[in-house]
């Protein structure tokens, strides 16, 4: 009996050999339609991302105002008021993303209020909703849990922005590290909730840019958090990975030293090739993002690209092909079919058919 799409993914993540290399796509990167139904019938697995918890801040009042600016953009201005002061953000909804025009941290005057904001966080399990979602979606979907961004990455991506973080890291590092430590404590509250929840695997943060943080900071401020989270999740039989979608050349060996079970969103179009990653990370599953820039190739070349990726990965069962980044709207249907064609062809070759 053939494995379901979900079974293929879980087989690989658990170190077993699937009946075919899994092909996955995020839930927001495929539209319900005739082609989607055909792809699911052929084995495509949709990855539904959700959290088995929610975060509340009982002593922070949040008010949001939605408006349209003079350029016709729909913006949201959100104010966060606490006994330590007021903070605010300005965001714009994009396609599968949110554009941040103003981060919550704007100047050193915000350190006190932001630390209060972080430390006021409480983690509330949301297991019932998650379990119902898993049951409703069925075996064409794999539902993935999410641990918040790595503490330093949260400061860069969510709270400050890259440029501001760079200045603050040089000028006010002690204050930055106070926020870092507050975020470490926040994430420690999340680990056991995810570990005891109904989902089988979870991403820890992601979107790390090695060229910004460097090797030393990755070793000092990222790896210890992976180690701590993995220890908690592994005790409960849960798997943990991270979303490394940048050029990972600088930290390849360091990633290999982490206890992460899988590396997701790895893009061999900008990172070292698949065979090199598989050799360096011999104890990990390589869950690639089918390279974003290649989606502009012809369908014939998309097929050939996929065959080359599969052959570079070898037959050790530690390889998943995924779509984790945006695909041009006029390309996804043909490209997804071509990728599946190549997977099915290579599977027949392996079977001697």
pLDDT at 97: 83
> Both ends of the chain: CA-CA distance in Å?
17
d(CA 194, CA 182): 19
pLDDT for 147 equals 98
The DSSP secondary-structure symbol of 107 reads S
CA 142, CA 317: separation in Å to the nearest integer?
18
Cβ-in-10-Å burial (0-12, 13-18, 19+) of 17 comes to exposed
pLDDT of residue 93: 87
**Which pLDDT score is estimated for 96?**
80
Which residues are within 8 A (CB) of 184 and not within 5 positions of it... i.e. 6 or more apart?
151, 225
pLDDT, position 2:
87
Please give the model's pTM, rounded to 2 decimal places. Answer: 0.95
Q: What is the mean pLDDT of each run of 10 residues along the chain (353 residues)?
A: 92 96 97 96 97 98 95 94 98 88 98 98 98 98 98 98 97 98 98 98 96 97 98 98 97 98 98 97 97 97 98 95 96 98 85 56
Measure the CA–CA gap between 19 and 8, rounded to whole angstroms.
7
The string of pLDDT tens digits covering residues 256-269 is: 999 999 999 999 99
Q: How far apart are CA 132 and CA 143, in angstroms?
A: 11
Angstrom distance (rounded) from CA 20 to CA 23? 9
Q: Where are the domains of the chain?
A: 5-55+123-350, 58-120
The strand pairing partners of 77, in sequence order, are 65, 90
Q: Which two tokens stand for residue 131?
A: 């379990």
* Angle between helices 210-221 and 223-235 in degrees, nearest 10: 60
Assigned architecture for domain 5-55+123-350: Alpha-Beta Barrel (3.20)
Query: C-alpha distances in angstroms, 91 versus 66, 82, 292, 297, 340?
Result: 10, 21, 25, 34, 37
């Amino acid at each position: 009996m053939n494995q379901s799409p979900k079974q293929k993914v879980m087989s690989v993540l658990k170190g077993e050999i699937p009946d075919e290399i899994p092909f996955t796509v995020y839930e927001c990167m495929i539209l319900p339609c005739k082609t989607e139904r055909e792809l699911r019938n052929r084995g495509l697995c949709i990855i539904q991302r959700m959290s088995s918890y929610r975060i509340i801040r009982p002593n922070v009042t949040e008010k949001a105002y939605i408006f349209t600016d003079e350029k016709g953009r729909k913006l949201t201005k959100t104010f966060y008021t606490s006994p330590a002061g007021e903070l605010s953000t300005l965001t714009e909804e994009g396609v599968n993303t949110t554009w941040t025009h103003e981060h919550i941290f704007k100047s050193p005057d915000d350190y006190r209020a932001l630390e209060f904001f972080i430390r006021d966080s409480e983690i509330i399990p949301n297991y019932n909703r998650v379990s119902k979602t898993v049951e409703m979606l069925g075996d064409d979907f794999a539902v993935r849990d999410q641990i918040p961004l790595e503490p330093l990455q949260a400061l860069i991506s969510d709270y400050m922005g890259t440029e501001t973080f760079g200045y603050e890291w040089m000028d006010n590092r002690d204050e930055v590290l106070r926020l870092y430590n507050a975020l470490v404590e926040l994430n420690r509250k999340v680990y056991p909730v995810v570990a005891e929840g109904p989902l089988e695997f979870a991403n820890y943060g992601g979107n790390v840019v090695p060229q910004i943080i460097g090797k030393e900071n990755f070793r000092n401020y990222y790896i210890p958090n992976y180690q701590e989270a993995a220890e908690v999740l592994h005790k409960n039989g849960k798997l943990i990975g991270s979303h490394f979608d940048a050029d990972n050349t600088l930290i390849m060996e360091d990633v290999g030293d982490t206890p992460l079970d899988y590396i997701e969103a790895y893009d061999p179009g900008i990172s070292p090739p698949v065979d090199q990653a598989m050799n360096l990370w011999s104890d990990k599953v390589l869950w690639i993002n089918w390279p974003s820039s290649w989606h502009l190739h012809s369908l014939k070349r998309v097929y050939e690209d996929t065959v080359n990726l599969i052959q570079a990965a070898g037959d050790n069962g530690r390889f998943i092909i995924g779509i984790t980044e945006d695909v041009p709207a006029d390309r996804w249907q043909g490209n997804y079919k071509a990728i599946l064609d190549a997977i099915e062809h290579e599977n027949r070759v392996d079977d001697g058919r």
